[in-house]
Amino acid sequence: MSKRLLTFVHISDTHIHLDPDYVSEHINFSSRIPVQKLIEAVNALPMAIDFVMHTGDVAHYPETAEHYHVAREILQQIRYPVYYCPGNHDFVPQFQEHFLGKSSDEIRIRYDTEFECNGVQIVMMDSHIPPDIEGHSGYLMAQQLDWLDEICRADDNRPLVVGIHHHPLLLEAPWLDRISLKNGIALHNTLLKAKHRLRGVFYGHIHENVITVREGISYYSAVSGWFQTQTWYAAEEPAAGVMQGPGFNLVTLTETDTFVRPVRIPSA
């Protein structure tokens, strides 16, 4: 049996709103109950996990500090350390100040993070474009790619895990591809330099489960903490009548393998 290195839970797109009854034009229920069910399911897992990775859209257009205070109060119920990258619905300075509790001199234009857990290197990238500028797609700045390039070129044998909000590769469905990471190919080409140790790229944003494998790199999305979609290959729009209920990916790294188990939680 291959030795276990790390177990983490990948969650995404909790879209917490100040108003507990907030609904959008896309869905007729609020995020509050599904997110609560998601947290309870993670806390009730029958094994200890090392951390939770949240790949963004933490809050839903958080216009005031209170939005992030409420999001913090809710997500603090998770009994494991949680690492975040922001999504297109997050306001990144406010996310750092009011959600993560950073002081004003710690706030960065881009909130990228790198840390190690049990000998595994984890990198999380901030791909947001402010929503008032460019819609829902994402972008990585040249400096961010340079930073990642250095990590990927390094003489380093630690397994590597990457988290990001947007889908780096096109999913061959027009409505999703309009909101992808605009320079995802640049990200993929950078990651190829660390292919020998890269265990997976984990992302959110699309509110559905897709696995893409390209040139030996695996990209896994997580469903949302709020509502779900389902998009078939080449479909012009999402399918109707999709099963709701939040979910997460349970990810286990061993010395030889990467296991990704999508878990769904009934909505009723």
Burial string for 92-109 (b: 16+ CB within 10 Å, else e) reads: bbbbbbbbbeeeeeeeee
Q: Please, what is the minimum distance in Å from the beta carbon of residue 128 to Fe ion? A: 9
Considering the complex, state which of residue 16 and residue 152 has its C-beta at the smaller distance from Fe ion.
16
Nearest distance from C-beta of residue 79 to Fe ion, angstroms: 24
Closer to Fe ion by Cβ: residue 10 or 199: 10
Residues 107, 221: Cα–Cα separation, whole Å: 28
In the bound complex, what is the minimum distance in angstroms from residue 106's beta carbon to Fe ion?
Answer: 24
CB of 224 vs Fe ion, minimal distance in Å: 6
* x-or-dash string of contact with Fe ion, 145-174, rule CB under 5 A: ------------------------------
Task: Return the residue of 55, 57, 173, 249 that touches Fe ion, per CB under 5 A.
Answer: 57
Q: Is 258 helix (H, G, I), strand (E, B) or coil?
A: strand
Asked if 13 touches Fe ion (CB under 5 A), the answer is yes
One residue of 205, 223, 225, 247 binding Fe ion per CB under 5 A:
205
Q: Which two tokens stand for residue 229?
A: 């979609």
Is there binding between residue 87 and Fe ion (CB under 5 A)? yes
Q: Which stretch binds Fe ion (CB under 5 A): 46-54, 142-150, 204-212, 241-249?
A: 204-212
Rounded least distance, CB 233 to Fe ion, Å: 21
What is the residue whose two structure tokens read 């090392």? 50
B/e letters for 212-243, b = 16+ CB within 10 Å, e = fewer, are beeeebebbbbbbbbbbbbbeeeeeebeeeee
Q: What is the DSSP string of 160-197?
A: EEEEESS-SS--S-HHHHTTSBTTHHHHHHHHGGGTTT
Q: Does 249 bind Fe ion (CB under 5 A)?
A: no
DSSP state of 215: T
